[in-house]
Amino acid sequence: DIQLTQSPSFLSASLGDRVTITCRASEDIKNYLAWYQQKPGKAPKLLIYDASTLQGGVPSRLSGSGSGTEFTLTITSLQPEDFATYYCQQLYSYPVTFGPGTKVDIK
């Protein structure tokens, strides 16, 4: 199985901050990476697919980049609705796997 690691595991930030979350894959997954946001008591929500393409309705302050084994999710100007846990997911090979998550909390 392809392993995904995320850093940091926890991030404390203020409104308006720029935050970056990194996802690393244990092998080359090209650009077959998705990002999700999950809030307490809710299902994950697809934010980005193909490493950098925003899902419809996702605000442009979110962006994704990377290819191969290293990927980033960036949120510019953090808003109240952005405080959540973020997961990366590889869809390059089966079984698809998810990262352990990064929780973004209010400083």
Q: Footprint of other proteins on this chain (CB under 8 A)?
A: 32, 34, 36, 42-46, 49, 55, 87, 89, 91, 94-101
Give the residue from 40, 36, 38, 37 showing the smallest Cα distance to 96: 36
Cβ closest to other proteins, residue 24 vs residue 45: 45
CA–CA separation, 26 and 12 (whole Å): 27
SS (H, E, C) 16-55: CCCEEEEEEECCCCCCCEEEEEECCCCCCEEEEECCCEEC
Tell the smallest beta-carbon distance from residue 64 to other proteins (Å).
12
Tell the smallest beta-carbon distance from residue 9 to other proteins (Å).
12
Tell the smallest beta-carbon distance from residue 77 to other proteins (Å).
25
Cβ closest to other proteins, residue 5 vs residue 77: 5
Give the residue from 87, 69, 65, 78 showing the smallest Cα distance to 105: 78
Tell the smallest beta-carbon distance from residue 97 to other proteins (Å).
7
Cβ closest to other proteins, residue 17 vs residue 50: 50
